Amino acid sequence: MYQCVVSARHENVQAAAHLALGDSSPGAPLQVSGADLQPGPSVSLKCVATGNPPPQFIWTLDGFPLPENERFLVGQYVTVHDDVISHVNITNVRVEDGGEYMCSASNTVGVVSHSAKVNVYGLPFIRPMRRVSAVAGSGLRVKCPVAGYPIDKITWEKDGRVLPTDIRQRVFDNGTLVVSQTQRDIDGGRYTCRAVNRHGHSASRDVTVTVTGTWRAWTRDCPVMPRFLLCLQAACKPCVLMLLKTLKPP
């Protein structure tokens, strides 16, 4: 609270004002020009965020990093009103550029994400997927990076069997596969995503899923050094042993 006092010989006048200082989490609406496109023109996606400290941006396409392509230009600038604007400009848009674009703005206070769907008319196309890793007992989420429009149906398969095959698996209409409580011997392996349009044209792509073991940790006294923390990844072959020294309290 700040107070201002003006004094004259026979009168005092005062007023108070509250000035709030501190960090604030970002807010980031996503703006897209042209959601349903024919191949050929350019498309621009803009993410406008405010926050203190100024936010940093990460863009993804269907949960994966943006393609490394000279047609994709990513940049940002700050307006006179201290809004930070990050943009993705795509020239000569192609069928494979379609999908769900997500902008995540983060600073030391928090993170906020917004997404927008860009549809490019054409036959089904599935972009390559990087290897996906999960820790046993945790959840797994993979979104099939489908392009082409319109798409009638997206399915997932594992070992030639259409998912889901048990209650831990769920496949959503947007092509997202969710597996809860992953198990190393059951859920690891090669998965296939398949997209089909109303005319029967289809595309498919494989992705390898690796499920690693859990970590076990315990403390043990050692005659050489005061105290150690030993971490053993019990489910990994060959086993990996990490020895970390911890300091005694003063």
Among 84-98, 203-217, 221-235, the minimum mean pLDDT is found in 221-235
- At residue 4 the predicted structure's pLDDT band, cuts being 50, 70 and 90, is very low
- At residue 202 the predicted structure's pLDDT band, cuts being 50, 70 and 90, is very high
Q: Give yes or no for a contact between 41 and 56, defined as CB atoms under 8 angstroms apart.
A: no
Residue 101 CA to residue 150 CA, distance in Å, equals 17
Question: Taking residues 193-214, what's their average pLDDT?
Answer: 94
Number of neighbours of residue 150 by Cβ within 10 angstroms: 12
pLDDT at 112: 87
pLDDT in tens, 23-79: 555 655 556 554 789 999 998 898 888 888 888 899 999 999 999 889 999 999 998
Structure tokens at 48: 């406008």
- Three-state SS for 73? strand
pLDDT at 82: 84
Domains of the chain, CATH where assigned: 24-120 (2.60.40.10), 123-212 (2.60.40.10), 216-245 (no CATH)
- Please state the separation of Cα 126 from the chain's center in Å: 19
pLDDT in tens, 134-177: 999 999 999 999 999 999 999 999 988 999 999 999 999 999 99
Sheet of 132-135, strands arranged across: 132-135, 202-212, 189-196, 153-158, 161-162
Residue 32 CA to residue 118 CA, distance in Å, equals 8
